[in-house]
Structure 1
Amino acid sequence: MTRPDPGAAPAGGPLSQALGSRARRSEPRTYDFRRPTKLSRDHVRVLQIAQEAFARQATTHLTSMLRTGARLELAGIEQFSYDDYVATLPEPIFIATFTIEPLAGKGMLAYPLDMAMATVDHMLGGSGSAEQPHRPMTGMESAIHGHLLERLLDEFATTFAHITTVQPEIDSIEYNPQLAQAAAGSDTVMVASFSMAIGQREGQATLVLPFSSFAQALNNAASPQLSESALRKRKRAAEALAARLNLVPVDVSVRFAPLSVSSEDLLSLAVGDVLLLRHPRDSPLEVTTNDVTFAYAIASNHRRRLAAAIVPTPAAAVKDTA
């Protein structure tokens, strides 16, 4: 008979529970090596702040416009290829694609069709509790629902302003996921999932954004703020760089005004030929570096050496620069 170890934790105790939870957390997850992860933790953190703010503002607008209890709550943020995301959508479903000027690409907002129909019912004074039709919206229904979409897109632009400036505009309305061409099939998209409730109806909404369009803005927003010591180091480095640049040797030339000749004359030049410079006698010479004129001078001498004395810029040169 084996005696139990008095120092061992009993079965089902805190140790076994901790090991069990750790094992659940370390369960394998599917990873597609053809589409490596592009969303970093910093990206997700920045997006989460913006999407949670969007959910709060959208909840306020839904409640006030529909005059009923409404809720939009962020459930998670993931990355998909566009084809993989579309494969998760039921049919029919309400889909609104929108432009994100000045960025390239399109965004997409999708939620259950019956909830979209219920919003129209509420906006027309109904209860929204009746069974809603599973069909595309009529022109009038689309126009009524369009006012709600515009308010939601305005809030989207406001809550994303700390990441980048966008001016979303509704592009198209679709009910078949396969017809909503918001991106190429292999493009990486960022999908924010929301739990949505309007009255007694509940469902899932998704807000889809192209990763490539927001990548640079997310990198900028995710970069940590520099500390005061880091800022001082950057300032000292900039000052040292400026000081060293002042010591870099630069080739400077003093030249007459350029002369234009034909190719025939250029090819026929021989020793002893004379080229007329046509430089005005009262016009100063150009002081140049890297073929850029930065000053003017007149011929002079200094201690028996040829020199160039800097003179004020001629009025004609000032006019040409302006």
Structure 2
Amino acid sequence: MIHDNFGRIVANYLTANLRTSVQIKVISIEQITFEEFIHSVPNPTILMTFYLEPFTGPFMFETGPNYVFEIVDLMFGGSGKGQVKTRDFTDIEKNIIKKLNLKILENLKMAWEDIIDVNIVFDNIETNPILNQVIAPNEPVCLITFSTQIGNNQCYINMCIPYISIENYVDKLVVQYKSTASDKLDQYFKEKIKNNLMPVKVDCCVELGKAILTVEDFLNLDVGDVVKLNKKISEPLNMFIEDKLHFKVYPGKIGKKLGVQIFEIKDKDVEEDA
């Protein structure tokens, strides 16, 4: 849920800054070794190492050449549709992406705010992933891969979280996440159910009164006959919602149509929101 939120926030940020449609969503979360992560990313790439305080260990954010060249092209007024040729990044390109990625990483504060307050501290940037040896090759890491749709082009970005960076907070995160996620889901589904119920149409029926007839009287009824009901003219009428009595009403006229005015609420299944 944290990184789903992060993806949505970053997508909105990039859409506003690049003036083109950007969609980002999590497509996989897997546990691998740090060595497997390093060998899975292209060379060259932009691999940024940062600290997410209060966590003690390093985090990594990787954006590949397809992402880098397309972003740079769009920021300099291009269409972002040119052919991408693999080459080393220039110093200008590295500085542009570094500044943009730092702005993107700042959005982690918002994504994490319901779980824990965090602060982003930049450490370094590498274009050759093999040179990044911040942790041992056999250390387990959590690899979160995002699918990034920029216009009609698709690329991928990765967030790498070593287990040693968060191990001191795992118990706290699990408890807080379950509590927060449960509360949010409850509220989400409550609102969703409410919004789906509000447009539903219900049958309303106003009863003028009742009368008891014999079979003979019923068979002899004809046009113009008058049937005496059990209601007095001064008495309110019963209004039923889906065959259940809810209101006492008085009859009247609204424009050219008949109407009723609610006089008394007899039963209300749903309480009003506080």
Q: State the SS of the aligned residue for 1:223.
A: helix
Deviation at residue 114 of structure 1 after TM alignment:
2.3
Whether contact under 8 Å (2:49, 2:59) holds in the other structure is yes
Distance in 2 (alpha carbons) for counterparts of 1:181 and 1:215: 20
The equivalent residue for 1:176 is 128
- The residue aligned with 2:155 is 203
C-alpha distance in 1 between matches for 2:48 and 2:162: 15
Do the aligned partners of residues 131 and 51 (structure 1) sit closer, same or farther apart at CA in structure 2, a change above 3 Å counting? same
Matches within 5 A, 1:1-322: 49-223=1-175
- Paired with 1:225 and 1:175, the residues of 2 have a C-alpha distance of 34
Q: In structure 1, how many angstroms separate the alpha carbons of the residues matched to 2:17 and 2:139? A: 35
Find the aligned partners of 1:105 and 1:131 in 2 and give their Cα distance. Answer: 38
| Letter of the structure 2 residue corresponding to residue 207 of structure 1 | M
Q: What is the CA–CA distance in structure 2 between the aligned matches of 1:111 and 1:176, rounded to whole Å?
A: 12
Deviation at 1:207?
0.4
CA contact (8 A) 2:67 2:156 kept: no
* Structure ID, larger Rg: 1
SS class of match (1:203) = strand
Percent identity (aligned): 27
Instruction: Give me the whole-angstrom Cα distance separating, in 1, the residues matched to 2:178 and 2:3.
Output: 25
Higher relative contact order (CA 8 A, sep 6+): 2
1 CA distance for matches of 2:114 and 2:88?
36
> Judging changes above 3 Å, is the alpha-carbon distance between structure 1 residues 225 and 179 closer, same or farther for their aligned structure 2 residues?
closer
What is the one-letter code of the residue matched to 1:149?
A: N
Q: Which protein is richer in strand relative to its size? A: 2
Change in CA separation of 1:162 and 1:188 when aligned onto 2, cut-off 3 Å: farther
Q: How big is the shift at 1:133?
A: 4.4
- Letter aligned with residue 108 of structure 1: M
SS at structure 2 position matched to 1:172: strand
Q: CA RMSD in A?
A: 2.3
Whole-Å separation in 2 of the counterparts to 1:86 and 1:216 = 24
The normalised TM-score by structure 2 is 0.59
> Which residue identity is paired with 1:221?
L
In 2, distance between residues paired with 1:158 and 1:82? 27
Equivalent residues, number? 179
Counterpart amino acid of residue 130 in structure 2: Q
